[in-house]
A and B are shown apart, each in its own frame.
Chain A
Amino acid sequence: DAKTTQPPSMDCAEGRAANLPCNHSTISGNEYVYWYRQIHSQGPQYIIHGLKNNETNEMASLIITEDRKSSTLILPHATLRDTAVYYCIVRVGTGGFKTIFGAGTRLFVKA
């Protein structure tokens, strides 16, 4: 699986959009971009995933660059409960393969 690079930490004001970047310059054509988050002392929670096109669901939006070498997770209106570690993962297949976690980005949402 391709390696990803994320900033170690970010701050965001409550109510503002949180934009979390991820670099995956060695991504292969059949690899998807997945985002998970982990709130303290809980298991990871799936957020969103995509292959080429931008995706949106009730939690977030995923913007993937045209060359697919980077992506951005957008939480449109961050709340204090969004404080967590966010993991960007690149993986072959739509869920059947083992997920390798990097260091992630620790997002602090401040009041």
Chain B
Amino acid sequence: GAVVSQHPSRVICKSGTSVKIECRSLDFQATTMFWYRQFPKKSLMLMATSNEGSKATYEQGVEKDKFLINHASLTLSTLTVTSAHPEDSSFYICSARDESVGGQFFGPGTRLTVL
């Protein structure tokens, strides 16, 4: 089946630094990927839609300059949290669309802790 990976699975950083999270579709090509964030005991919140070769589409209220998304290839999308602050600590999850089977598959998530 379709597999989506994320790296790193866990990251701790100091306030003010930037953190990059990678999302890869391992056995299929994905023109569209999605990024979510999830706070403890809350549901997933869609942040943005990442489109290969074009700009990402951000959901209302999500700062595009804060959360930089790059989708440079059909198997890789990256989310960079710039100048991270403690309130950015969260569980970040990506998903990728596999057009060949008409499904959307989720990565295992990345837990970001900003000190």
Contact = CB atoms under 8 A, between A and B. Distances in A.
Contacts, number: 57
Given A42-B109, A43-B108, A95 B101 contact: yes
Interface of A: 36, 38, 41-46, 85, 87, 93-96, 98-104
B107 to A, nearest CB: 5
Interface residues of B, number: 26
Interface stretch (B11-19, B68-76, B80-88, B91-99): B91-99
A104 B98 CA distance: 24
Given A44-B44, A96-B97, 12 more contacts: A41-B109, A43-B6, A43-B95, A43-B109, A46-B106, A93-B102, A94-B102, A95-B104, A96-B99, A96-B102, A96-B104, A100-B46
B93 A43 contact: yes
